[in-house]
Structure 1
Amino acid sequence: MAATPDLPQVPQPVARVVLDVPLAHLDRPFEYAVPAELAPAAVPGTRVKVRFAGKDVSGFVIARTDVPEHTGKLTRLRRVVSPEPVLTPAVLAAARTIADHYAGSLADVLRLAVPPRHAGAEKALDAKDAPHRQRPTVGKSVAWQRYPAGDAFLHRVATGDAPAASWLAAPTVDPVLDWPAALAEAAHAALAGDRGALIVVPDHRDLDRLEAAVVGELGDGQHVRLTAEQGPQARYTAWLKVLRGHVRCVIGTRAAAWAPVRDLGLLACWDDGDDLLAEPRSPYPQTREVLRVRAVRERAALLLGGFARSVPVQAWLESGAVRDVSTRTSPANVPRVVVAGDEREVERAGAAAHSHLPPVAWSTAHAALADGPVLVQVPRRGYLPTLRCGQCRQVARCPECHGPLGLPAPTAPATCRWCAREATPWRCPDCYATSLRAAVIGARRTAEELGRAFPGTPVIRSGAGEVLGSVGAQPRLVIATPGAEPVAETGYAATLLLDAWALLDRAALDAGEETVRRWLAAAALTRAASDGGAVVICGAAPGVTLAPVEAVARWAPATFAERELAARRELDLPPAAWMTLLTGELADLEAFAAATRHAVHDDVPLETLGPMPAPGGQPGTALLLRTSRDHADAAARAVSAARAIRSARKLPGTVTVRVEPSGAYL
């Protein structure tokens, strides 16, 4: 079709551009004329500079057309930043779906999906010849032999099928059978089928273990590592290698979920319930959902693994969206789990059975230290992170901001954990007492106590600021906070899970789910019962049957996920219901909720819950919007419309919107 007289005389003279502008009412493509000198380079997917509202604005060309929809004169593109088509159609489509799902803007999602350009990386990679990529042959799996459906899953991946699976990994201290080896074999199957593989893990320590397994399975040079912690040039270089097809296997943390892998055949995620896989920037997408959307759109296999199963994955399992590829675990193949404080121990030890380190934990650790290292998981970092009044036992709070007081060191004064002010002198506002006592024992104080309880035994710590990746097989005590447990060379001889109540008593919807996930992750580093491995849970409420404690004691994460989902269905809580968390000033929240109700259809019941204090000690107020899961898409569109109205009217104040917030925010 011939171009109109007002447009440049070039093929497809109209460029549709998505602007890097986060304003909700501008979340749509804009049309620009393509000058003749820019026509060859301004292909879909390239970065461009355009004039918008009197300023130079960055954007992406998403399409070229012959005839504009706009009836007036079009502004011309200013320049093409790089001829590299960095935004692929598959990533663009997934980004649009995620933006709609989380009631966000496409610009915000693209900022997460496409890393910033680094000109030096482009030039350096242009100067190199593309490496010869070898297609591996189908190999015999080893790690998947323990799972009845393992070979069938790998076969479907290798033959171009797109199975979606939930995988409960069986614990082992043998690296040939452990989860990194299983994920590496799954990637091998995808590459053997001439397709790509993308594997996401929560943190760099998991990534180091996975990378060692991938190199052992595929060899050197067959994958790239992609994380947000890489320098700009290293990250962009790795990303370009994937974009250009130099490699087709990507491993990384949350940032790797958007990697533009060609002919994607497998998307895998380890420990999808980890909060590190929830994006902290708007629109706050969860990596699990990003991978699911990409798997559906690109007809790729999806594998969601872990020692525990998240409740959202359990909902997908019951709906048929994913299938189970797990196996039954024999009691001999998992560590023996003991719950301290039962009736028999109380009869023997009296009140000491409920102490910070009960006799059964001490005796288990003492016997295990003769054969290897002992892991001690402490749920709080620091020295004494929480203090109480010594007389009335109320939580001690800062007189300035009312934040909780803690003791950072043995000789340090009580300090507020929010504003860092020293609370000296301190007086209880309820009983006027001035004495303080410990409410929670931190990792540093625990290390001191255990050093005295086990004289002559080396004590090392792994936590914030000093996270260890691994430890040797020598007898020692390893004190770690949840998520920072190092891997022992031959597995831990025993594991102590201290202060169980501190995890179970968290005021969050996912307290039980998170507790099971953290405990099983630590217990999985322990030797099996057949090799003498034992786990002791200390500090659980005596005389009460707690579902998380029972799930770990029986090693039954699937049963726990089923019961947790059933309970949430009864209470109409996520993921059984759709929910959005709004935080800000109360007047702004009420206006936003009213705009959302006005935008939603009459047949969509939208319930408002609150107001309530903002979660996590944040300033401001919170409101919850809730509807049934069947009306989730309509409700998300209504929230998007309310954001657009607020943005267009330039209303003062800030309303933060989290669609489907994680349990930590509820």
Structure 2
Amino acid sequence: MASDSEIPGGPRDVARILVDSPLPQLDRLFDYAVPPELAREVSQGVRVKVPLRTAGRVLEGFVIELDEEDDADRPLSEIESVVSEAVVLPDRLFRVARAVADRAAGSAVDVLRLAMPRRMVRAEKAWLAGPPADAPVIASDARASVSACLDRHPELTDALAQGARVAVDAPPGVSNGLPEWTMTLAAAATHTLAHGASAIVAVPDHRDLDLLDARLRTLVPDAAIVRHDAQQSGPERYANFLRTLEDAPCIVIGNRSAVYAPVSQPGLIALWDDGDSLFEEPLSPYVHARDAALVRQSLDGGALMFCGYTRTTDVERLVGIGFVRDIPARRRASPRVVLGAPQDSPQTGRIPSAAFRSVREAIDSGPVLVQVARPGYAPSLVCAECRSPARCLPCGGPLFAPARGATPTCGWCGRGAMRWVCAHCESTRVRLASSGSERTADELGRAFPGVRVIVADGAHPVQEVDDMPSLVVATRGAEPLAPGGYRAVLLLDGDRMLQAPDLRIGEACLRWWSNAAALAAPGATVHLVGVTGPVARALATWSQPAYARAELAERAPLHMPPVARVARVDGDTPQVEEALRKLRDDVPELASDAVLGPVPLEDVSGRRRSRALVRFDYARGSAVAASLRASVVQAAMKARSRKPRQKSASGRSRAPANTLAVRLDVVDPEL
């Protein structure tokens, strides 16, 4: 006797599939019939292969929903095969991906590519065959350490229990050979794990990840720590992702993509130093980890914690409107910061005399940190006569000095400028216009003979230095950890850092200087050289939230981020103009000055290209994103419907590619 699904006109099983395709017009669910022979294998969240008639090929996809319909006469393609019985896309992960993509006018598949590592068959089979993970047990001494740490922030324990959104100022300093901030985050994560929920902690880079990992292993069992790390092998990354799908709680630590970890009971999502540019996703749909965490917390609940030495204007805006709660420390701790004007002399070079004496006194008891702006010896050269920037004659690139007495080298083409002549005054001599980490180390080595000098930058990574006397010259963000803290900290090139053409450069400099100052030993002096004004005062008084509030007040009249959201639209001029017209029709509430531009861009293949910025309130975010996304889809469909005019490398014709691109929440808008 035939089953109901085999009876003509009877009910049949239908699966709604999200096709794994980068095409924006395919960012929706497609109905496919479930053949009877696959009925037991097809379940929500599994990978399948389905035919796509418009593409004429078979693609992978994910089963999002299962349903039964009576209209069996509706023509539907059938699922071709089930890739694996592993449920790798639970509904909680798809909801987050869909919400994040909708907020950023992007595709859910693009978000899932960030959240899900590449499938590894052996790792998946081992996970399916293995037993489920056990719930971790927290030792009593670890619970005591956690309670002592959380007592420094008396409101934090209640906030974690209530699932609140909080901003926590991290205490500066080093304890037990690790920064204090690692204990604050590890205590919050361990407290969450002890109450039967999972915690997700995202940090900017692998150095912070190693420090947090080391701290957590002193509090929780190793099996409870799941690490999402781009430096791991493919099978290890995929195995760790599969572990987060299980019901047993865990602590997930990783970089920006860790905020998508599909743990079943999220009790805490925490971000350390959310102002770091590494939290900005460079891949479509370009969602900042902070925004993804906010979206996920609104869907899944649990606590959300922003922790850092400084406060970004984005978080301070949320604090100002009451969306995030400010959690002050019970006792305020701050480094001793001294502001000083630069003083050049043959003896001290770029270091003021007061700072020079402080370094000389501190060097006998341990390491001293010197932060500089750029790596290398002399990152830029100028003409010795007219002070014009020295440029490479063949390509026009900037010249730099790779070492003392070395031939100037082009930063673009790498050629040596053996016979350089200034294009303005015809001088043949160059002058060092700036000092990098290596030149600073050379100067300090002559000023402090017999003292060990250590260079720490991108070319010379150093994770940790001992407590022996030394001068550590580091670029911003590359400062090694001193287990006992630095006996003095010297912040150079501050005036040069502040000159960068960046809307948030003051905020960024305050974060770089605060992170370096926090590595000082108790009672050590921090010298900020050559900087005055609000940024310097905020560092000296350790009042970073107040500086963020002042920055917000200055940006409010200009409607610049994060006071308002900004979208960037670029592409062929007709497409950009059409997208802006559609946006005006779809969102008539936009202000008259909401659109800046469009302005022409450099021609590509003879096409006229333009770029425009759109400023809008947060309340209009959903409508603006939906309108711009619709324009991208429409442009993509028009591009595919045109007669093919291009040929691929294989000689096959293909339709012109869509050139309309949209990016929301631009951090530093520029036309």
Q: CA deviation at 1:592?
A: 6.0
Matched, 1:572 2:574: no
The letter of the residue matching 2:171 is: A
Which stretch of structure 1 is more off in the superposition, 496-505 or 243-252? 243-252
**Cα distance change of structure 1 residues 48 and 350 upon mapping to structure 2, 3 Å threshold:** closer
**Residue 536 (str. 1) matches residue 527 (str. 2):** yes
Distance change >3 Å, CA 578–CA 354, structure 1 → 2 = farther
Q: Residues of 2 paired with 1:357 and 1:298: CA distance?
A: 52
- Residue in 1 that maps onto 2:174: 173
Contact 2:110 2:284 in 1 (8 A): yes
Distance 1:203 1:62 in 2: 33
> What is the deviation of 1:657?
2.8
User: 1:33 and 1:274 mapped to 2: Cα distance?
Assistant: 47
Asked if 1:517 is matched to 2:511, the reply is yes
> Contact (CA 8 Å) 2:11, 2:68: kept in 1 or not?
no
**Residues 293 and 451 of structure 1: is their aligned pair in 2 closer, same or farther, counting only changes over 3 Å?**
same
Partner Cα distance (2:384, 2:146) in 1: 54
The aligned runs of 1:447-596 (5 Å cut-off) are: 447-529=441-523, 533-540=524-531, 545-583=532-570, 587=573, 590-591=576-577, 593-594=579-580, 596=582
Q: In 1, Cα distance between the equivalents of 2:43 and 2:585? A: 37
Distance 1:82 1:232, change over 3 A: same
Kindly provide the amino acid, as one letter, of the partner of residue 611 in structure 1.
V
Contact 2:138 2:219 (8 Å CA) reproduced: no
Over residues 569-613 of structure 1, what are the superposed CA-to-partner deviations in whole Å (9 max), with x where a residue is unaligned? 12210011111134556x367446535535532222331246387
Counterparts in 2 of 1:595 and 1:399: CA distance versus 1, 3 Å: farther
Other-structure match for 1:263: 265
Following superposition, the deviation at residue 280 of structure 1 comes to 0.9
Query: 1 CA distance for matches of 2:267 and 2:590?
Result: 37
Q: For 1:440, what is the secondary structure of its paired residue? A: coil
3-state SS in 1 of match to 2:36:
coil
Match in the other structure for 1:18: 18
Name the residue aligned to 2:398: 404
Q: How does 1:254-653 map to 2 (within 5 A)?
A: 254-327=256-329, 330=332, 333-341=333-341, 356-399=350-393, 402-529=396-523, 533-540=524-531, 545-583=532-570, 587=573, 590-591=576-577, 593-594=579-580, 596-597=582-583, 600-605=586-591, 606-609=594-597, 611=599, 622-650=611-639, 652=657
Q: Mapping of 1:16-165 within 5 angstroms?
A: 16-52=16-52, 53-67=55-69, 72-136=74-138, 142=145, 150-157=153-160, 159=161, 161-165=162-166
CA distance in 1, matches of 2:585, 2:415: 46
Contact map agreement 1:228 1:255 (CA 8 A) in 2: no
Structure 1 residues 350 and 301: alpha-carbon distance in aligned structure 2, compared to 1, 3 A threshold: closer
Structure 2: tracts of 5 or more residues without a match: 603-608, 640-655
Q: Using the alignment, how far apart are the partners of 1:575 and 1:70 within structure 2?
A: 51
* Residues 4 and 662 of structure 1, relative CA distance in 2, 3 Å threshold: farther
State the AA in 1 paired with 2:18.
V
What letter is aligned with 1:483? G
Q: Which amino acid aligns with 2:168?
A: W
Distance 2:106 2:305 in 1: 26
Q: Pick closer, same or farther for the CA change 1:299–1:469 going to 2, 3 Å.
A: same
User: Which stretches in structure 1 are left out of the alignment for 5+ residues?
Assistant: 343-348, 615-619
RMSD, aligned CA: 2.9
Gap change, CA 1:613 and 1:309, over 3 Å in 2: farther
1:207 to 181, 206, 209: 209
CA contact (8 A) 2:368 2:470 kept: yes
In 2, Cα distance between the equivalents of 1:604 and 1:5?
Answer: 54
2:153·2:330 contact (CA, 8 Å) conserved in 1? no
Q: Does 1:657 align with 2:662?
A: yes
1:142: how far off?
A: 4.9
Amino acid at match of 2:629: S
Deviation at 1:2, TM superposition (A): 6.1
SS in 2 for 1:216: coil
Is the partner of 2:63 in helix, strand or coil?
strand
Residue aligned with 1:63, SS? strand
- Contact (CA 8 Å) 2:115, 2:257: kept in 1 or not? yes
User: What letter matches 1:167 in structure 2?
Assistant: V
The 2-side partners of 1:46 and 1:461 are apart by: 50
Q: Which amino acid aligns with 2:525?
A: A
Rate the CA distance shift 1:601–1:177 in 2: closer, same or farther, 3 A: closer
Which shows bigger deviation, 259-268 or 444-453?
Answer: 444-453
Distance 1:26 1:318, change over 3 A: same
Aligned length: 641
Task: Tell me, in whole angstroms, the C-alpha distance in 1 between the residues paired with 2:72 and 2:441.
Answer: 69
Distance (whole Å) between structure 2 residues aligned to residue 594 and residue 628 of structure 1: 17
Percent identical pairs in the alignment equals: 36
**Structure 1 partner of 2:189:** 187
Deviations 1:446-493 (A, max 9, x none): 111111111111111221143222111111111111111111010000
- Partner amino acid, structure 1, of 2:122: G
What is the TM-score when the length of structure 1 is the normalising length? 0.89
C-alpha change, 1:506 and 1:633, in structure 2 (3 Å) is same
Please name the residue that 2:648 is paired with: none
| SS class of match (1:150) | coil
Per the TM alignment, residue 350 of structure 1 is displaced from its structure 2 partner at its CA by: 7.5
Q: Which amino acid aligns with 1:365?
A: V
Pair 392,202 (structure 1): closer, same or farther in 2 beyond 3 Å: same
The answer to whether the 8 Å contact 2:381/2:432 transfers is yes
Alignment check: 8 A CA contact 1:595 1:642 kept = no
